[in-house]
Amino acid sequence: MATQTGDGLRALVDRLDRLIWHDDLSGLPWWRAWPALALRMAAAIGRDLAKGQLTLWAMSLVYTTLLSLVPLLAISFSILKGFGVHNQIEPMLLGLLEPLGEKGVEITERIIEFVDNVKVGVLGSLGFALLFYTVISLMQKIERAFNNVWHVVRERTFGQRFRDYLSVLVIGPALIFAAVGIGASVMSLSIVGTLASIEPLGSLIRLAGKLIPFLMIAGAFAFMYAFMPNTKVRPRAALTGGLVAGLMWNLLGWVFASFVVGSAKYTAIYSTFATLVFFMIWLYVGWLILLIGANIAFYIQHPAYLRGIGGVNRLSHRAREKLALVVATLIARNHYGQRPAWTTEDLSQHLRARNDPVADVLAALERAGLIKATADEPPTFLPARPFEEVEVPEVLAAVRHGSVGGDLSHEHIPAPADIDGLVSAYEESIGAALAGRTLKQLAQAALAEDADGKTVLARLG
């Protein structure tokens, strides 16, 4: 009986695996493709949570938030005071801490009290610099967490951080509180009250009153997903992640509020520390929601990462060499065809491949002096030397040899003379077979196929 049950369970798992992963969603109607995509997304999110990176980043952000919350609100309070909307800080905090119930009111009062006691004018230059650095460290930690989700290795430069973070600190609070003020003002208009007494307008207005807070939270999440990662995020991906994170925020907020209401025994155990414990738990849940939404936005933009085990995708040597030739040919084709230069994101989207192997190949070609990155943001890639002088064996050698001089480079691996001879003969045979074939010739062939209306390059297998 146990064997039959196990066989039936394995058959069910295999059937679900085929249903979720093996079907080509592009050929299915939307009513079948969307549920399958949702299942793939849920499986990928579960895989990422099981790996533990999201939870580790959420815990790290909780610690940084505890250190940075009061300085952040103090700077925001100083900025908003100039706009005359500084009184909106307390209602905003009450809204964010609403799942904590009475404990949220207590925490809000304490935070506002701390903020009021911060006198920026008496801190001095060093004190203000430390205050500002604490806020910047929180934003830098958020950027690194989002970059980790988006598989982005390159961080913003110091100048970019100063410009972008300052923009968020100055413009962000003003926009948020302006939106809150506009929403409250519209709902308090007498004409709105008159229309609310007329059905079905009254039901629609009450529904709008419930939707506005949700849409504002979802919009704030979407703004962070679009702005914080050091890469180009498409609006569709950011909005989808923001809407899902907003739904999770409201749902888990209701669940957490129910947990706090029935937590009298925890209050008896932790006494006065119970409020701090609940606050830290809600901070952790909030950051985890934010990171899960970022993961969803990432998978919407990069569905190639849904399959497999996640993380960096390791290619076989053959696939890496083929990818290098494809990437180099695409760069050469656009160069000679007077087309816009490629970015890493554009190349991965064109090839429907992951960013990691594409970025790895680009880095190898750049180290070999075959291409160079521009100073644009994001950088594009151009020939570092005339491609009519670059032969195909050079491209293959760039990705085969990698970085020369390291501990694991080929010249540091001890081997008998026969093996070194075989390797040298293999490389010489490749060079002889491909001698005279240049990247310009490959680019011209690709342009000719373009002119004939054919597919320029096959999808990377």
pLDDT tens per residue across span 300-337:
988 878 876 555 556 788 888 899 999 999 999 999 98
Q: Using the structure block, give the residue that is written with the tokens 């990377």.
A: 460
pLDDT of residue 330: 94
Same domain, 206 and 79: yes
Two tokens at 411?
A: 């010249």
Higher pLDDT, 63 or 15: 63
In a domain? residue 350: yes
Model confidence at 184: pLDDT above 60: no
Going by C-alpha positions, the residue among 116, 141, 140, 119 that lies closest to residue 128 is 119
Answer whether residue 42 is part of any domain.
no
Query: Band of the pLDDT at 406, cuts 50, 70, 90?
Result: very low
Q: Is residue 377 part of a domain?
A: yes
Among 102-111, 374-383, 403-412, 430-439, the range scoring the smallest mean pLDDT is 403-412
Predicted pLDDT of residue 459: 38
Residue bearing the bigger pLDDT, 341 or 95: 341
Q: Are 155 and 122 members of one domain?
A: yes
Predicted confidence at residue 378, as pLDDT, reads: 80
pLDDT of residue 192: 55
pLDDT digits (tens, 9 = 90+) for 284-298: 999 999 999 999 999
Q: Which single residue is written with the structure tokens 């009250």?
A: 193
For 190-216, give one letter per residue: b (16+ CB within 10 A) or e.
Answer: eeeeeebeeeeeeeebeeeeeebeebb
Domain enclosing residue 342, as ranges: 317-451
| Average model confidence (pLDDT) across the chain | 78
| 78 within a domain of the structure (yes/no) | yes
Q: Which two tokens stand for residue 165?
A: 């973070």
Of 286, 306, 326, the residue that ends a domain is 306
Same domain membership, residue 198 and residue 83: yes
More confident residue, 274 or 232: 232
Identify whether residues 436 and 382 lie together within a single domain: yes
Residue 390 has pLDDT above 50, yes or no: yes
The pLDDT tens digits for 327-372 are 999 999 999 988 999 998 889 888 888 888 898 899 999 999 999 9
Q: What is the pLDDT of residue 8?
A: 66
Assess whether 250 and 175 both reside in one domain.
yes
326 and 300 in a single domain? The answer is no
Q: Considering 276, 306, 336, which residue would you say is the last residue of a domain? A: 306
98 domain residue, yes or no: yes
The confidence score (pLDDT) of residue 266 equals: 64
End of a domain among 256, 275, 306?
Answer: 306
- 41 within a domain of the structure (yes/no): no
The candidate with the shortest Cα–Cα distance to 357, out of 326, 388, 380, is 326
Report the C-alpha gap between 432 and 158 in whole angstroms: 48
Cis before 416? omega within 30: no
b/e 45-58 (16+ beta carbons within 10 angstroms → b): beebeeeebbbebb
pLDDT of res. 167: 72
User: Within 13 Å of residue 272, how many CA atoms lie on the same side as its CB?
Assistant: 0
- Are 288 and 331 contained in the same domain? no
Let me know whether 382 and 262 are in one domain: no
Identify the band that residue 405 occupies on the pLDDT scale cut at 50, 70 and 90.
very low
Residue 126 covered by a domain = yes
Instruction: Verify that 221 and 270 share a domain, yes or no.
Output: yes
Which range of 290-294, 404-408, 429-433 scores highest in mean pLDDT? It is: 290-294
Task: Work out how many domains the chain is built from and give that number.
Answer: 2
Instruction: Give the tens place of pLDDT for each residue, 195-220.
Output: 556 666 666 766 666 777 788 888 88
Residue with tokens 């999808």: 459
Residue 382 confidence class, pLDDT cut points 50, 70, 90: very high
Asked if 262 and 326 sit in the same domain, the reply is no
Residues 175, 167: Cα–Cα separation, whole Å: 11
Q: How far is CA 96 from CA 130, 253, 403, 436, in A?
A: 27, 9, 49, 66
Whether residue 267 is found in the same domain as residue 338: no
CA–CA dist 446, 326 (Å, integer): 10
Residues 251 and 336 in one domain: no
Q: Domain of 364: which CATH number?
A: 1.10.10.10
- Looking at the domain assignment, is residue 55 inside a domain? yes
pLDDT one-digit tens code per residue, 56-66:
999 999 988 88
